[in-house]
A and B are shown apart, each in its own frame.
Chain A
Amino acid sequence: MNETMEMKLRDVADYVDTLKLEGKDQEVKRSYLIHTLHKAQEIIGYLPVEVQKLIAKKLGLHASEVYGVVSFYNYFTMKPKGLYPINLCLGTACYVRGSGPLYEELKKLLGVEEGEVTSDGIFSLHAVRCLGACGLAPVLMIGEKVHGRLKKEDLPRILEEYRQLAKTQNV
């Protein structure tokens, strides 16, 4: 395990401590599991086995129970994501306005399949169900920014924007 990961694990541990769950009922502790996993994924970017074990210990659960929850919910991932994860909406409103072909085009442009990270580490591709921005269909979300009313021709420009952004951040 490298140093940054150790640091991040410590951050997660510190966060769980701020919840002041010591001595509380087991069922109350457990009710903070999904909440804690969200926080951990925010800190680390994904949920490696190490952090699942750590959270299990802190909340008085077996590691398999934590894994059961992580693997059940789509929002949680055990694989690292790219610097800018691309979430393309394949919800109904976007689908009937042509997000299917956009998804194929993105796969081609990025050279990755669902859930994979590009070789330069900048992007990862994820199909999601409805971002609730149906008025702008079809949409994709990069970070917290929604790009709407997309056409195939827009994609290279958007990707380039983020590649440049990645450069300025020295990644």
Chain B
Amino acid sequence: MGKYKQFILICGGTGCSSSGSGDIIDSFNKALEEKGLKDEVQIVRTGCFGFCEQGPIVKVLPDDTFYVKVTEKDVENIVNEHIIKGRRVQRLLYVEPSEKEKIEEYIKMPFYKKQIRVVLRNAGAINPENVEEYIANDGYSALAKALTEMSQDDVLKSISDSGLRGRGGGGFPTGMKWSFAKRAKGDKKYIICNADEGDPGAFMDRSVMEGDPHSVIEGMSIAAYAIGAQKGYVYIRAEYPLAVQRLRKALNDAREYGFLGENVMGTNFSFDIEVRLGAGAFVCGEETALIHSIEGKRGEPTSKPPFPANSGLWKKPTVINNVETLAQIPVILLKGADWFRKLGTEKSPGTKVFALAGAINNVGLVEVPMGITLREILYEIGGGIRNNKQFKAVQTGGPSGGCIPAKYLDTPIDFDNLIALGSMMGSGGMIVMDEDTCMVDVSKFYLEFTVDESCGKCTPCRIGNYRLHEVLERITSGRAVIEDLDKLEQLGNVIKDTALCGLGQTSPNPILSTINYFRDEYVAHIQDKKCPAGVCKNLIRYDINPAKCVGCTACARVCPVQAITGTVKKAHVIDQDKCIKCGACYATCRFGAISKI
């Protein structure tokens, strides 16, 4: 980092960029220019800090100050006070809600205290578009070590010994996957990075690609060396334009520096990577479907075996790893399998990145050792439930996962424990739900997603999920009978047993887990025709309490279907046959006269 005395790190991830961090960077440049400080202070546009809730984020080094919710107007203040006079701008510091205290240094923030950042080691620390900054942080030295000091088998052994399991969802041991591909016969072999992050509510892969693209390239190159591949593909969502752009830039820089291409680092290992865009099909996260998509076909899965390690892309041995898995590889090679095993649990070593979202105070990306409890993540790091509401459930694993209720908050998180709870790790999305969330509505939401995204190739998934959705539709509109619950469970289990690929085999999980843990909510919908959370429109009833109504006519005026009648200064009445339950009257009434049941 050379001659500079101070550094201003500004988050250039998607969250902060959307709330204007680009303009903040411009303002800093201008302000420093005006004060003649351009040669003393360096501005770095970094990847995601993870604390998206409080963005845009600006960090000042070397004193480790962490400013939150910065706007363009604050820039001059930061330059004048902090950079020139050395005084922190107090009003921009993060205030911990529980202690009401301003926190001056980054490492003292509860959001970061419990985190161990391995995958996210460089996100928020370096400029992702500058390969030299990556190199300065040990970048490409793991590849150099592999190519010059280690045989293919040494690399395989190191990854196997580390116990690393695939971070994309299934948790398959990475070392084993690589060994299969190494042993498989083929004149060509391929390595594919699965960056088709499709779980709604998961954005860790995006942040790694945006914040540290070279770590993925280095991980892929090491994998390629280990299995003997000459060519790699990154299959990335088209919905992530910034990640695509940074990845392309990183690939060009890596080629220029001799980390990719013919004779990498002067050795006889040659390897290059191409980018392939996805086109919005969730099923393409499934290995065989993804392969077909790269081949230019419809992304439909095929049955396994044969596994891609034996017959993958163009029927050649292929390894498919997820972004987060690949980003771990360089660190494991440098620090060793033993170091990695010290993190996490025995069966799930290492760290995992989770995307916290939903009804939680600190929305963002966190990286924690496996084995941490849900409670620690949600309450100590996540800052608890938004607006002091009651916690109801946390959904993990996206549309393939399930909802975990409060009584399991102290379960240590790893691959196997989550499956035992009827959910799964998935890619690491964690959506927090509070008392205002209806669990039946949530299952319906996920089923809508699966019905939309089912590729239609196998009958259990195509028709079975459609039928499940119909039943849920009946329940939420008050037309179901209690036997429907058994139907859901029976059909759900049949789909799990018979569907062709991972999508169908896991799609009933949201329903089965919510029936298991929140059966009373289903029963309330079916027998009492009530939605306890007040979400399912058809089961809500609005009434006007004549004792409280002052006859101001506000409700009658906002009602879009003229269902409310009454004269000025007299109590109004809602015609239940006309009411469309839009809630406009409820939101408008200033006298608390309208009730919602």
Known interface pairs A93-B357, A132-B206, A133-B18; 8 further A-B residue pairs with C-beta atoms within 8 A, sorted by A's residue number: A27-B295, A34-B277, A34-B279, A73-B299, A75-B238, A92-B200, A96-B358, A129-B198
Q: Which residue of A lies closest to B235 (CB)?
A: A34
**Docked-complex contact B355 and A134, CB < 8 angstroms:** yes
The answer to whether B298 touches A68 (Cβ under 8 A) is yes
Between A and B, how many residue pairs show CB distances below 8 Å?
A: 130
A residues near B202, Cβ cutoff 8 Å: 130, 132
Binding site for A on B (CB under 8 A): 14-15, 17-19, 52-53, 55, 197-203, 206, 238-241, 276-282, 293-300, 314, 355, 357-359, 363-364, 395, 398, 429, 431, 433, 437, 442, 445-446, 449, 455
The answer on a CB contact under 8 Å between B293 and A34 is yes
Q: Would A137 and B206 count as touching, CB distance under 8 A?
A: no
User: Residue of A at shortest CB range from B449?
Assistant: A129
Using a CB–CB distance below 8 Å, which chain A residues touch chain B? 27, 30-35, 37-38, 59, 68-69, 72-76, 91-93, 95-97, 128-137, 139, 144-148
State in angstroms the CA–CA spacing of A91 and B200 once bound together: 5
Return the contact of B14 from the options A38, A128, A129, A132 (Cβ within 8 A). Answer: A132
10 sampled A-B residue pairs with Cβ under 8 A: A34-B276, A59-B296, A72-B455, A73-B278, A91-B200, A92-B395, A97-B358, A132-B206, A136-B52, A137-B358
Of A27, A31, A96, A147, chain B has the most CB atoms within 10 Å of the CB of: A96
Of the candidates B239, B276, B300, B359, the one whose C-beta lies within 8 Å of that of A96 is B359
Q: What's the least CB distance linking A145 to chain B, in Å? A: 7
Q: Chain A residues near B429: list those with CB within 8 A.
A: 92
Q: A73 to chain B: which residues have CB within 8 Å?
A: 278-281, 299
A96 contact set on B, CB distance < 8 A = 358-359, 431, 433, 437, 442
Q: Which residues of A contact B446 (CB under 8 A)?
A: 92
- Docked-complex contact B359 and A37, CB < 8 angstroms: no
A128 cross-chain contacts in B, Cβ below 8 A: 239
A144→B239 CA distance, assembly (Å): 10
| Complexed CA–CA distance, A132 and B13 (Å) | 10
* A139: chain B residues within 8 A (beta carbon): 18
On whether the beta carbons of B238 and A38 are closer than 8 Å, the reply is yes
CA distance A68 to B455 in the complex (A): 12
Closest 3 pairs (CB-CB, A-B): A135-B52, A91-B200, A73-B279
Q: Is the CB of A135 within 8 A of B55?
A: yes
Q: Once the chains bind, are A135 and B363 in contact (CB under 8 Å)?
A: yes
Bound Cα distance from A128 to B282, whole angstroms: 12
B108 CB to closest chain A CB (Å) equals: 22
* Contact in complex: B277, A38 (CB < 8 Å): yes
Q: Give, as a whole number of angstroms, the nearest-CB distance from A156 to chain B.
A: 16
Given A134-B363, A135-B52, A135-B357, are A31 and B431 also a contact pair (CB < 8 Å)? no
Nearest-Cβ distance from residue A40 to partner chain B, whole angstroms: 12
Asked if A31 and B282 sit within 8 Å, CB to CB, the answer is: no
Knowing A135-B363, A146-B14, the reply to whether A92 touches B296 (Cβ < 8 A) is: no
By the criterion CB–CB under 8 Å, are B203 and A74 in contact? no
Distance between B159 CB and nearest chain A CB, rounded to angstroms: 28
| Chain A residues positioned under 8 Å from B197 (CB to CB) | 132
Using Cβ atoms and an 8 Å threshold, which residues of chain A touch B15?
133, 135-136, 148
Question: Which B residues are in CB contact (< 8 Å) with A74?
Answer: 279-281
Q: Contact between B281 and A92 (Cβ–Cβ < 8 Å)?
A: no
Q: Which residues of A contact B437 (CB under 8 A)?
A: 96
List of A residues within 8 angstroms of B203 by Cβ: 130, 132-134
Docked CA distance A80–B357 (Å): 34
Closest to A36 in B: B296
Of the candidates A129, A135, A148, the one having the most CB atoms from chain B within 10 angstroms of its own CB is A135
> B296 — which chain A residues lie within 8 A by C-beta?
30-34, 59, 69
Q: Is A130's CB under 8 angstroms from B201's CB?
A: yes
| Residue pair A75, B280 in contact (C-beta under 8 Å) | yes
Contact A92 B14, beta carbon cutoff 8 Å: no
Q: What is the distance, in angstroms, from B542's C-beta to the closest C-beta of chain A?
A: 16
